[in-house]
Structure 1
């Protein structure tokens, strides 16, 4: 007999079944079976236990269709073959596809893709559950006439599925065929005889399930089926319950075919809803002309700014409901797309301290051991690609520490290590990039790096050679051996123990389960493809597919949890309050887009030919509305619905509009700004975030929050951001320890400091610096140019160079460049031909520069006296020392070139800096702490009486050594060439006396071709020059700036106050620490003024008066 129990959501269908079961148990019946959806089994079991007690529940079997398969299999003596896991199915499907690839018409080129294997598994499962055989598909394909695309598609699918079934036969059992096997076992066995069956919680069935239910109707004593509908006879395909009504008709037809009686019970009262709104919502959702009602606080529709706001609001309201006395288990959160909300909602729940349970199973593909195996395979497949090897190391399952991995990664980055040859070659270069000599410290670092390299490479090579030419079993065995060789098994145990100490026992236990699943994947591949020859690439694809197919179940961590699920598969346990998230147009109800190999048009043709597959088209749309109805009607007391409404494309869905029609025109959709501030405090964390957000409001509410958090360590940080306070190290003792009481700095650091104190702190306090590749960048180019110029002038001499012809100069340049390449760039064998070519191209630019130098030396009486002159404790010149209030600053460095002139019994000294950039020199920069470097070096040399080039300061000069500013073509006029060359006139300041003896010794004809000085047509001096007394004032200013820098650092002053002005307007634009400053409300830059040299002197005189 077939018994129908019809009724809308909340009308008591489940209660009816349970009451009937109780009556049967009380009457002595013990052959009762309750079948519910898988996700409802636990809840049903709990209800049965509460209702029947321990003795009564023994008379009832509570099963899902899956568990019924196992039950009947046991009854019939068990299963003869092993059951394939999800991963093993993928392996077998790949094998099936490979066996028929040459016969495929349509899919031939696609079969190698992992996604195709997954798609074919879906088609197999669908066809199996819908009782469609490969032969039937093939027969239909032959009779489709002009529909060749579908015919070829069905023909290819039938070939693949038949090959898959052939591989299964008498070897394995596919879970997709469980219902077919169940049907066969039920036919042959007496399991159903005398059984009283209740089927509750379903809205539809697949073909296999229909066959089984028909068999139940035929053989069992009675079958009771509950269906959520109030109109089972309604034939309207757009009716809200159309899909359910079709289920009812199919079951009625089955009963009629079995000559069994049908009884019908209509439940007509909503027993769930506890107020008028919830009753009306269930009764008239999606009604054409619903009644209107004042819902009070029983319904809330929230328009969120974005998904984060939506999740935060949901968690906030749940927190208030919990505080009002509602149990967590009486609250459910339902959405249509779990992936969109899971991580954000999890964060919000933690923030508001809400217990919840998400029954979604976790994929294992991101677990460390799975990632390890994937990158072990990739390392060999892609010939030791560095990204793969480093990813393997970063799993945490090797013997390398995080520090060792970081150092290795840095070396790989600096020296562009990639591929088999480089990984299998001993590292010999400095970890810091190009250096003339490797220090002892660097040698020790390289030795340690080689140990790390050898550890990784030896194990990967061992794996590589052991699997060469092997079959699937060999590869699986060697993967296991590699795991043991790397020590991954022991590392996993240590990781689990460490997690346990953090009171996360579930996560710790998870590691063992993941290991077992990984071993299961390897075993499944061996079981399915054991003796088959297989490339590592194919094995990798298979392993990835299988890993993505496996998952970890999650156990509830408590009894009282908020329920969280996806509408199409979530069965809430009578919640009092429901939150529906994501009620946007196209999202919930969802616009289903087909992703199967069979399009909707294909499915329509198949349906016309009596192939009843999964739902499609209008049926899916009706199902989606049904899911929305079930979600909205499952609450007994209160309904919250939220959607994103800030974007121009964010429209509310039909679920929202239908509910709003019931609530009337006066109902106001809630926004974040409508929620009272006090209500927005749901936890300490949310209160702190609210305080930070409204810190500047200075309302009574915000002041109260500020007072509450005044002692919180984070409060000061928020206050500083709000007030735009300058950064400062409050602990001056720590500041002095960080920067040093007695500081030893390069002169360039002074300019760094005055460019931006905060950048200086990041760079030299925190020592946070960007990594630099060992390549021919601007820095390396500049170093090479400096070295070659030094070698030429030192070896040839300035006077002899002045007499050389162009060709002689070119030969010299080429010679010294090659020598530099061989001696400075480590092992030249490791340098690429492209690098060497680019490097030697510097000769064109250097030819021009040296020719220019030769011209200058022919005009000057100054002679090059020192190169790369070191200013340091052990240098030719001692450091430039400035006393501080506590301690001192000692400036050290290196001068590219020092020229001297013996005249009138005095020695005059000028310092030359080679500039490979295009930065201009302005004397006014000195007032702001910029362009001090060469002045400091000049004064350091001239003040050191023991320095061999000590003398009277005669100037600082900057010589451009880059040809990038010169644009000279074959047809360029001579005048334009000379004008272009004038850009290479040295910049800087020279010493000027009334007799102009010194400047005329620098350039004999004083035309300003080489130095920044000349006489104009009126015989007046023009250019950048200073008297001896004015140079003294510059020295005094520089001393005060260095002292200011040292004292500021000792006081912890590290403000974000970058310099800004002509020539210095990109301080922030190219700053390596730009992102660090993003939290600051407003960066206030220090404006600098570009002054004429006379104004600079005047300003110095005023300051020092």
Structure 2
């Protein structure tokens, strides 16, 4: 029994000495007593490789590279304990979740937080920490009593410890009875080492550790008592045999404490402590090839600058510091250097490694960049599989059952693609069609599996003369395909639901999950995914797919082992399984030998790196600005330590230990070291360089710092630009950047023209090159359609509506997207503002048609009759709106009652307006167009095309006057609307005037004599709330309500005509019309009236505007040119913004900026347009 230390600074040859000793033993006696190398679990693979490479053999039995856990398992096979069921970290968290939920009513703080993100994980971390520090959970109550009796203890800490005592006591009891976890393995090693024949006479070398937990110290003590020899390698600057540790700010403080603890432990146990081997020969073996890196290792801690007159000869080759525009530019710069090393210096990928402090900050950048540069790499991390499609499918299936087949949960399963048939008979595109149908029809709950055939999707139309079958689903073949998709989804999920709900215990619930996965052929799908990943050159992803099935089965087995016979509520079971899935991680070994190692400074260990790249050296990141994230704060840890509950070092010590991690990273390489930092994050927020960068500059004052930007710049030197010519894909991007500068008038080096020629002569790169070259001419503009294309889309005879004309005026591209490409937002089963407006419109039209058939009018109805008719109309229309959406729930039932009140209020007001005038409806829902009641408005366009305006007029009123027949148009609107003349002029509001023009043009044919324009009016359907601070009588309330419904629009400036709309005009103003009359009979300037001549000019102008719009449509105008009028733009509610990518600030884009002329100027313009139209 003996203990010996091998110490030395980083790179001094400690690991090499151990490997040399082991390999010498193996060569001299391959079958002797065991040779054991004890190392951190994550480092064992590299050490095994190193031994085999040194020996030049394929394997060995005598030498074993083990971590604490694997060594413990080896000992337990001899001494007992291997029959206990191993429990994984995921299993522990699931058990913790169950215990917290079970005791939630007793817990003071954590009872309602079981589902809080991260809580269970942090509880498990604390439990593990306590166990590593030999905490006796049966004595927690004693510690709590001490806390309770002390006035220095906060009530928060008392409540925490009370809760933790309840949770951990039961948790520890359950674990001790049936299971063994990672910390128990170390305890079993300490307990059984003395009885192990395998360890007796073994020689043990310990390498790669800086510190140990109290539990590990017990195991090491047992090993020292049993093994023939124990040799410990520590990164330490000198021997500390005097019993005095260095100052805690000393870089080597952690390893010095470890040295002293092990030495004292051995001496106390009577174990021989041999002379310490101190490796201090300069230069250290690792740095023999680099004077710069050798001095860096020496000077980093001491902060001694290199004399400027004696700068190392290899500094520019061995040490590089770079600032970078962002992390992407930083990683691209490192990738270029790696390619250069491989190309120019014959470096192997395995000779290189990237170290970062937080791997999550760089993982998403490194993966795509290295793929573009063709650099194989291995990411040294436990891979979370939470968002793997299989995980999404399992979690989605549980939510389908728990939340009664909600749309989101069902399609979470669908989009995982684990429900698609492997034979490809149904595809993702079929599921997309199904999703559109489900959204439009409001399919959820029992409608998925009730067996009743699905019907066509609900219509968006409430037209009284048509059925309500949806246009898109009229094809029975498509419905049949939808039923196939439905069966593919509902069959396995409904079977899973039945099995899960009939389960008597957790074992049967886990079996239901397994049977679901078998039913959807999950193993075969994972094999297919793995094969695809391999074909795409992603071996690490392929490994994840292959390991996942066993990982999921292992998790289910773990649940069965822990609580198989327990009877749990489905929600509890789901929560337990969800907890396990969230924390399921895969530990992968490198899938190939020649790869770049990518890891974090606190995890990754390697001693055979030639070229190290240390990225992300920013303030607050390296060294890390650690945050308190555990259940206990630093202050609470100190308080617990005072009462004898030992815990891990606090935040202060961990912050100091960050320096040791950095020291290990910057001294890992033997040939070159690359240091870099971004100056901004992904959001453009500034980042500062770390103190590490400043220290490097102090040590090497003459070292020049480089700057990394994305792509190349023509202002750079030729040599700098040549560095960007390497791998085909990133070089092509750089080439395009150079050519873009050339197009801007800048000069580029001739080498780029040779690069362009290379791509053009390589068949495999020609398509990509031509595509990217096209980007040089890219402008965010839509090229106009050719005449042939325009005719193909619209026809030579354009049949269109007025609203379509208005859409074109708002933005030609939006018109093209809607009517040329026929793009539309997908229909969703919910009540929206347009649906409500359509219901109002249809209900009032239905009532008016009924009155006409019964020879009644609005004015003849009482208030009660209006309300009854409104209720009847809404009741008839409700089943036709959006697939009976108003009948689908109590909430919608309440909305229906509100809608009835609104329609009833509107009908009462319409009755009062009718009684005040002599205009009577003569047309309701009047269609105009070929073969309709009225002919279309037809235009012969200058380009030879013919345009027909078709549509439907809500309501036409007529009255007789001394001047002749009068016609007016009324439109029902669910929002406040008015006729704004400037919007008419710009083509944004043409509907009402066009309808009136159609009526006047056809009056002689339709009514037998010509007619005059009486006006166009909008009726706002709503139910306003009256408010008064002093109260009001019923008559006052009725009058105020009438004013709230005042019609908006434009009327003929003739008092007789207006009197026929409101017979109470004598008082000088109207309660129902937008007019006020002066004492002399004239109209106030605010009155919305126009003379007959102005009406003629206005209607003539509208025709000219429509003709111009029609010409531009048929000419193929598809400009991305939305209007802007004040603060209002066409983009505000546009559905096609993601398609056109319009940016008002971009030089290629610009609004149609519209002014708002004065009233007189507008009439002058209309007069001019009207005369022009007459001439033409």
**Which SS does the other structure have where 1:578 is aligned?**
strand
Is the 8 Å Cα contact of residues 331 and 575 (structure 1) preserved in structure 2?
yes
Corresponding residue for 1:684? 731
Distance in 1, matches of 2:493 and 2:893, equals: 29
Distance in 1, matches of 2:667 and 2:539, equals: 38
Corresponding residue for 1:260? 272
Distance in 2, matches of 1:760 and 1:1037, equals: 19
Distance in 2, matches of 1:301 and 1:736, equals: 63
- Give the CA deviation at 1:846: 0.7
Corresponding residue for 1:472? 506
- Give the CA deviation at 1:189: 1.6
**Which SS does the other structure have where 2:818 is aligned?**
helix
- Give the CA deviation at 1:699: 1.9
Deviates more, 1:966-975 or 1:1032-1041: 966-975
Is the 8 Å Cα contact of residues 88 and 546 (structure 1) preserved in structure 2?
yes
Which deviations, in whole Å up to 9, do the C-alpha atoms of 1:138-193 show, x marking residues without a partner? 55445555166667755664664453444345643323311222233321122223
Corresponding residue for 2:763? none
Is the 8 Å Cα contact of residues 292 and 661 (structure 1) preserved in structure 2?
no
Is the 8 Å Cα contact of residues 316 and 703 (structure 2) preserved in structure 1?
no
Matches within 5 A, 1:715-794: 715=772, 718-719=775-776, 724=779, 726-728=781-783, 736-740=791-795, 742-771=797-826, 777-794=832-849
For normalisation by structure 2, the TM-score amounts to 0.82
- Give the CA deviation at 1:553: 3.6
Match for residue 913 of structure 1 among 971, 990, 995 = 971
Label 1:132 to 1:69 Cα distance change in 2 as closer, same or farther (>3 A). same
Matches within 5 A, 1:173-572: 173-233=180-240, 234-256=245-267, 257-268=269-280, 269=282, 270-273=284-287, 274-287=289-302, 290-291=305-306, 295-296=315-316, 298-325=318-345, 326-399=347-420, 402-403=428-429, 405-407=431-433, 409-410=435-436, 413=439, 430-433=457-460, 435=462, 437-439=467-469, 441=471, 442=473, 460=493, 462-466=495-499, 467-468=501-502, 470-484=504-518, 507=541, 510-572=544-606
**Which SS does the other structure have where 2:547 is aligned?**
helix
- Give the CA deviation at 1:36: 2.7
Is the 8 Å Cα contact of residues 736 and 772 (structure 2) preserved in structure 1?
no
Residues 1:11 and 2:12 are matched in the alignment:
yes
Distance in 2, matches of 1:289 and 1:499, equals: 50
Residues 1:593 and 2:627 are matched in the alignment:
yes
Deviates more, 1:277-286 or 1:303-312: 303-312
Corresponding residue for 1:1024? 1090
Is the 8 Å Cα contact of residues 379 and 389 (structure 1) preserved in structure 2?
yes
Corresponding residue for 1:875? 932
Matches within 5 A, 1:94-243: 94=97, 115-135=118-138, 137-143=140-146, 145-146=149-150, 157=164, 160-169=167-176, 171-233=178-240, 234-243=245-254
Residues 1:840 and 2:900 are matched in the alignment:
yes
- Give the CA deviation at 1:453: 6.0
Match for residue 650 of structure 1 among 650, 663, 687 = 687
- Give the CA deviation at 1:476: 1.4
Corresponding residue for 2:1131? 1068
Corresponding residue for 1:662? 699
Which deviations, in whole Å up to 9, do the C-alpha atoms of 1:7-66 show, x marking residues without a partner? 111121122222223433444364332233333323222222232222895553333333
Residues 1:701 and 2:758 are matched in the alignment:
no
Label 1:536 to 1:267 Cα distance change in 2 as closer, same or farther (>3 A). same
Distance in 2, matches of 1:1020 and 1:848, equals: 31
**Which SS does the other structure have where 1:576 is aligned?**
strand
Corresponding residue for 1:814? 870
Where structure 2 has 5 or more consecutive residues not aligned to the other structure, the ranges are 421-425, 761-766
Q: How many residues align?
A: 1093
Which deviations, in whole Å up to 9, do the C-alpha atoms of 1:114-158 show, x marking residues without a partner? 855433432333333333332454554455551666677556646
Distance in 2, matches of 1:499 and 1:824, equals: 50
Deviates more, 1:825-834 or 1:701-710: 701-710
Distance in 1, matches of 2:788 and 2:233, equals: 77
Label 1:641 to 1:377 Cα distance change in 2 as closer, same or farther (>3 A). same
Distance in 2, matches of 1:648 and 1:923, equals: 48
Where structure 1 has 5 or more consecutive residues not aligned to the other structure, the ranges are none
Distance in 1, matches of 2:1099 and 2:226, equals: 113
- Give the CA deviation at 1:583: 1.9
Corresponding residue for 2:986? 928
Match for residue 1040 of structure 1 among 1102, 1107, 1110 = 1107
Deviates more, 1:1025-1034 or 1:163-172: 1025-1034
**Which SS does the other structure have where 1:875 is aligned?**
coil
Distance in 2, matches of 1:165 and 1:729, equals: 75
Match for residue 44 of structure 1 among 27, 47, 68 = 47
Which deviations, in whole Å up to 9, do the C-alpha atoms of 1:366-410 show, x marking residues without a partner? 222322222222233334444323323332222585455445544
For normalisation by structure 1, the TM-score amounts to 0.87
- Give the CA deviation at 1:1066: 2.7
Label 1:909 to 1:211 Cα distance change in 2 as closer, same or farther (>3 A). same
- Give the CA deviation at 1:262: 1.8
Is the 8 Å Cα contact of residues 846 and 873 (structure 2) preserved in structure 1?
no
Label 1:688 to 1:244 Cα distance change in 2 as closer, same or farther (>3 A). same
Distance in 2, matches of 1:224 and 1:1093, equals: 102
**Which SS does the other structure have where 1:701 is aligned?**
coil
**Which SS does the other structure have where 1:895 is aligned?**
strand
- Give the CA deviation at 1:792: 3.9
Distance in 2, matches of 1:1098 and 1:786, equals: 36
Label 1:637 to 1:52 Cα distance change in 2 as closer, same or farther (>3 A). closer
- Give the CA deviation at 1:850: 0.4
**Which SS does the other structure have where 2:824 is aligned?**
coil
Is the 8 Å Cα contact of residues 977 and 1018 (structure 2) preserved in structure 1?
no
What is the Cα-based RMSD across aligned positions, in Å?
Answer: 4.4
Label 1:1017 to 1:286 Cα distance change in 2 as closer, same or farther (>3 A). farther
Which deviations, in whole Å up to 9, do the C-alpha atoms of 1:436-487 show, x marking residues without a partner? 6322655657887677667756655554444257210121122233445566
**Which SS does the other structure have where 2:1115 is aligned?**
helix
Distance in 2, matches of 1:838 and 1:698, equals: 67
Is the 8 Å Cα contact of residues 462 and 842 (structure 2) preserved in structure 1?
no
Corresponding residue for 1:865? 922
Residues 1:54 and 2:57 are matched in the alignment:
yes
Distance in 2, matches of 1:922 and 1:914, equals: 17
